[in-house]
Amino acid sequence: MLRLPSPHSFDKIPTPFYYYDMGLLGETLDTLSAMAEKYCIKVHYAMKANYEGKIMRKIAERGFGADCVTANEAEWAVKNGFVPGKLMFAGVGKTDDEIRRCLLLGIGAFNCESIQELQVIDSIAGEMGLRARVGIRMNPNVDAHTHRYITTGLEENKFGIETYAIDSLVSTLKTCRNVDFTGLHFHVGSQILDSIEEVFRLTCERAGEIVKAFEDRGLEVGSIDLGGGLGVLYADPDSALVPDFEKWFSTIDKYLRRRPEQVVRVEPGRSVVAQCGSLISRVLYVKPARTKTFLILDAGMNDLIRPALYGAFHLIENLSAGFRGEEVMQDYDVVGPVCESDDVWGNNRELPLSLRGDLMAIRSAGAYGSTMSSRYNLRDLAKAVFSDEI
Ligand SMILES: Cc1ncc(COP(=O)(O)O)c(C=O)c1O
């Protein structure tokens, strides 16, 4: 059951809203910091998962860097306490304007995703009289065994540069006059849970081969960035509120060949913030149909698109029924109000008897929730509410 400061904490707050358990975020960051130190791995928070200012500031306080995919993200990270030199800028489609803005900001490195992009960064840095620190995102062709929309490290995906291009990549790097090559970057996918050891063993082995290929061609690889990907337990969040960072980091430690002076980085997003966030909604209507009962909530797919986009599962809890001590259980199709038939939170969900006005928590919504929300149907955006402010 969702941890709440008191049963009536939400009574006066207009729904739907995102609720963030800042205590849980703190516990997650404690574990992440301890593991980063134990395994000597640098953390760059993938802010696409959640860029609420208050959350960003709490993460930045730990001294972590950030992984950004737009110049807007990079500038927002700096506004919220991240050090520019600890920012990584990935993404297959950086615009010239974004490259200029990130050079001015003094970001840690561009993670460059094509040879043409490398040439563009070199030429823009030259025009600006600046040096660009550049890592190269390679595509290791490793299957992350996750949903195909969040698989990023296979040759069929648009991300990174394929290994067949290493010769021309290295010769281009050697001709770039305004670029300092920093290292290599990999990110094979997201929500990797059961297969984390297998996927990261393969990724580390491939990374080792690719590092060697660069160094054999005379380019020293100073840092190896293995991206994000650690998954969270959506079906039963309370059994693992803090993800198993140790399993992930120890796998990297075991399988990645690294020299002592080589920096190893990761870019977790989901695992840092997913479990601390819930989307809180109210039951608008209980609507019986011939074969089922619909529970119509005031939160919709525009607030949290993961179920509609990926068929993702989120645990749903009826908080009010919990406070009432309701014992009767019933199956419901829990849906949102948006005018799309896939605006469904879950079919055949067994829940306590639910009434109009009941408060519902859609759990594990802290990552890729608010950041992917939209104003579809011209609905208002769900506001953020923090546990330490109510
Ligand atoms: C380059 C890069 N790094 C890190 C991440 C974060 O992944 P996750 O949220 O699974 O940890 C992503 C997510 O797509 C990404 O594209």
Distance of CA 323 to the CA centre of its chain: 33
Residues 174 and 120 in one domain: yes
User: Region 362-386: what's the mean pLDDT?
Assistant: 98
Tens of pLDDT along 16-38? 999 999 999 999 999 999 999 99
Distance, CA of 169 to chain centre: 29
Residues 274/277/278/280 CA torsion (nearest 10 deg): -150
Which of 272, 304, 338 delimits the end of a domain? 272
CATH code of residue 96: 3.20.20.10
Q: Which of 141-150, 197-206, 332-341 has the lowest mean pLDDT?
A: 141-150
Distance CA 331, CA 349 (A): 5
Q: Which of 187, 275, 368 to mutate to test the pocket of ligand 1 (most atoms within 8 A of CB)?
A: 187
pLDDT tens track for 250-307: 999 999 999 999 999 999 999 999 999 999 999 999 999 999 999 999 999 999 999 9
Look at residue 4 and tell me if it is in a domain.
no
Q: Are residues 326 and 239 in the same domain?
A: no
For the chain, the domain total comes to: 2
Same domain, 108 and 121: yes
CATH for 321: 2.40.37.10
Is 111 a domain residue? Answer: yes
Out of 4-8, 56-60, 107-111, 292-296, pick the least confident. 4-8
pLDDT at residue 261 in the model: 95
Give the pLDDT confidence score for residue 10 in this predicted structure. 94
Which atom of ligand 1 is found nearest the CA of 90? 1
What is the rounded distance in angstroms from the CA atom of residue 300 to the CA atom of residue 61?
33
Residues 297 and 262 in one domain: no
Helix (H, G, I), strand (E, B) or coil at 379: coil
Residues 48 and 189 in one domain: yes
Q: In the predicted model, is pLDDT for residue 147 greater than 90?
A: no
CB count, 10 Å around CB of 329? 10
Q: Considering the chain, what is the average pLDDT of its residues?
A: 96
Q: Is residue 86 scored above 90 in pLDDT?
A: yes
Instruction: Indicate whether 225 and 124 sit together in one domain.
Output: yes
Cα of 301 vs centre of ligand 1, distance in Å, is 22
Kindly state whether residues 177 and 253 are assigned to the same domain.
yes
Structural domain contains residue 11 = no
CA 27 to chain centre: 18
Instruction: Please count the residues of the chain.
Output: 390
Tell me the pLDDT band of 154, cut-offs 50, 70 and 90: confident
Residue ranges making up the domain that contains 34: 22-272
**Cα 343 to ligand 1 centroid, rounded to whole Å:** 25
Determine the longest span between alpha carbons in the chain, in angstroms: 72
Q: Is 17 part of a structural domain of the chain?
A: no
- DSSP letter at 235? S
d(CA 44, CA 77): 11
Task: Give 351-368 pLDDT, tens digit per residue.
Answer: 999 999 999 999 999 999
Distance 67 CA to ligand 1 centre (A): 8
Of 272, 304, 337, the last residue of a domain is 272
Quick one: pLDDT at residue 155? 78
Give me 328's structure tokens: 């009767």
Please give the share of the chain, as a percent, with pLDDT higher than 70: 100
pLDDT over threshold 90, residue 148: no
Which of residues 241, 272, 303 is at a domain's end?
272
pLDDT at 75: 98
What residues are in contact with ligand 1 under a 6 Å CB criterion? 46, 49, 67, 90, 187, 190, 227-230, 267-271
Let me know whether 305 and 242 are in one domain: no
Q: Which numbered atom of ligand 1 lies nearest the CA of 267? A: 4
Ligand 1 centroid to residue 228 C-alpha, Å: 5
Measured distance CA(286)–CA(354) in Å, rounded: 8
Q: Is residue 176 part of a domain?
A: yes
Residue 149 has pLDDT above 80, yes or no: no
168 with 115: CB under 8 angstroms? yes
When pLDDT is cut at 50, 70 and 90, the band that residue 372 belongs to is very high
- pLDDT bin (cut points 50, 70, 90) of residue 217 is very high
In the reported structure, the alpha carbon of residue 143 is separated from the centroid of ligand 1 by a whole-number distance in angstroms of 15
Domain-embedded: residue 5: no
Nearest atom of ligand 1 to the alpha carbon of 231: 10
3-state SS class at 378:
helix
User: Is 75 found in the same domain as 50?
Assistant: yes
Spatial neighbors of 26 by CB under 8 A, at least 6 apart, are 58
Q: Which two tokens stand for residue 289?
A: 């149909």
pLDDT computed for residue 204 by the predictor: 97
Residues 288 and 239 in one domain: no
Check whether residue 165 and residue 287 sit in a common domain. no
Contact status, residue 283 vs residue 358, Cβ threshold 8 Å: yes
Distance 205 CA to ligand 1 centre (A): 20
For residues 255 and 345, state if they share a domain.
Answer: no
DSSP letters, 257-310, are ---TT-EEEE--SHHHHTTTEEEEEEEEEEEE-SS-EEEEES--TTT--HHHHH
pLDDT at 151: 76
pTM for the structure as a whole: 0.97
The closest of 322, 317, 331, 344 to 288, measured between CA atoms, is 331
Distance CA 125, CA 290 (A): 66
194 falls within a domain: yes
Out of 43, 67, 87, give the residue to mutate to test ligand 1, the one with the largest number of ligand atoms within 8 Å of its CB.
67
pLDDT for position 207: 97
Rounded Cα–Cα distance for residues 132 and 29 (Å):
31
Closest atom of ligand 1 to 270 CA is 9
Asked, for residue 245, whether it belongs to a domain, the answer is yes
**Cis-peptide into 16, omega within 30 deg:** yes
pLDDT (0 to 100) of residue 124: 98
- Going from the C-alpha of 313 to that of each of 20, 54, 235, 306, 364, the distances in angstroms are 19, 27, 7, 8, 10
How far does the centroid of ligand 1 lie from the alpha carbon of residue 167, in Å?
Answer: 27
Does residue 270 contact residue 26 with C-beta atoms inside 8 Å?
no
The pLDDT of residue 145: 80
